[in-house]
Amino acid sequence: SVRTHIAQFGDAILREGIESELRRGGQVYFVHNRVSGIDEIAAQIQEVVPEAKVAIGHAQMSDGALEKVMLSFVNREADVLVSTTIIESGLDIGSANTIFINRADAFGLAQLYQLRGRVGRGRERGFCYLLVPKRKKLQKDASRRLEVIRSHTELGSGLYIAQHDLDIRGAGDLLGKDQSGQIRNVGYDLFCELLEEAIQEQRGEPADENFEPEVKIPVSAYFPETYIPDEGLRLLFYKRLSMARDNDELDDVMSELVDRFGRPTVEVANLREIVALKVALTQMGIESLEAGPSAVVLRLSERCRLSPKKVVGLVQREQGRILLREDMTLIRYLSGKESSDIIAACRETIRKVRQCLA
């Protein structure tokens, strides 16, 4: 679960939350959903916690500048990322486990739920600070939304949050012309996902638990503005890619991209490959994949679906090219030729490891 606090914006809460996360070697998101004023917020954070390295990211930056900022955060060259809601989906950084959401009273429940989901995804406990203005009386609905998100922190609470949102907004006609604001704002896909999770729980079936493997590869992978000019459409397709559960669903999304926007750029093709790797890792229950010029490293998890006997057999057959460490990390060393195409090397690694499925 993620410990969620409602607090007034101020130096004391910023210092407490950021310094606490830095002491345990982690990183911090700070969401400020207005480009105007974002520099001032970052400067205030820097002044309050001078030892922190603060980065700024928002959608009005050029693709190259934004990519540089995001990579600096992924590579832990920055401690605090001050950003708009561009981090809402598709970003999974295991070391970032504290999030501040400024003016949380202005967000909808679904968006707060999605943003909070950026932290607490790994072994470390997550912390979420819902910041509200000082000396300002909150509207009744805003107070109810914040209290709902604060009180529902456990895995599987998404459906309860959606139900509360329906209550706050009014249900409307789910299938008719008076469709509720909740469905429009939560999103039909997310609502169905939450409903499926609740049904699994009622049936006593194991829930997915939002297992999302981490992939770290030194390639540019994103939707350039020159490919999808509209920011809303870019976010939509990021979401659709992130929800692909198998290669057929992934290919359907890519086919639609080609139909609407033409041949994918190198960055888009790389993004497709990374999502395909995540799909494969999910199917095998592998926690993460990290690749560089010399090796591909897989971190196995408790839910790993590989046969230990088959893994040992693979290690023996590869005669030193693949090693299994005591910490359940599988390492495949790359030849000089393979290191020139990291993505292809990752695909080949997945192909070999898939043979070890139980």
Does any domain span residue 25? yes
Instruction: For residue 15, give the CATH number of its domain.
Output: 3.40.50.300
| Domain housing 174 | 154-210
- Assess contact for 8 and 103: CB atoms under 8 A: no
Q: How many other β-carbons are positioned within 10 Å of the β-carbon of residue 240?
A: 17
Distance CA 81, CA 18 (A): 11
Does any domain span residue 311? yes
- Assess contact for 105 and 138: CB atoms under 8 A: yes
Residue 223 is given by DSSP the state -
Does any domain span residue 147? no
Number of independent structural domains in the chain: 3
Distance CA 210, CA 204 (A): 17
Tens digit of pLDDT for each residue in 118-150? 898 777 889 999 999 886 777 777 887 888 788
**Between 244 and 46, residue with greater pLDDT:** 46
Q: What burial class does residue 143 get, using C-beta atoms within 10 Å of its C-beta: 0-12 exposed, 13-18 middle, 19+ buried?
A: middle
Q: Are residues 198 and 228 in the same domain?
A: no
- Assess contact for 212 and 241: CB atoms under 8 A: no
Q: Are residues 103 and 168 in the same domain?
A: no
Tens digit of pLDDT for each residue in 77-107? 999 999 999 887 666 788 999 999 999 998 8
Instruction: For residue 265, give the CATH number of its domain.
Output: 3.90.1150.50
Residues contacting 208, CB < 8 A, separation 6+: 197, 200
Q: How many other β-carbons are positioned within 10 Å of the β-carbon of residue 269?
A: 15
Ranges 6-10, 99-103, 139-143, 241-245, most confident: 99-103
Q: Is the pLDDT of residue 173 over 60?
A: no
Per the DSSP assignment, residues forming a β-bridge with 172 are: 179
Q: Are residues 199 and 250 in the same domain?
A: no
Q: Are residues 37 and 13 in the same domain?
A: yes
Tens digit of pLDDT for each residue in 193-235? 555 555 555 555 554 555 678 888 888 888 888 999 887 788 7
Single-letter residue type at 218: P
Q: Are residues 342 and 249 in the same domain?
A: yes
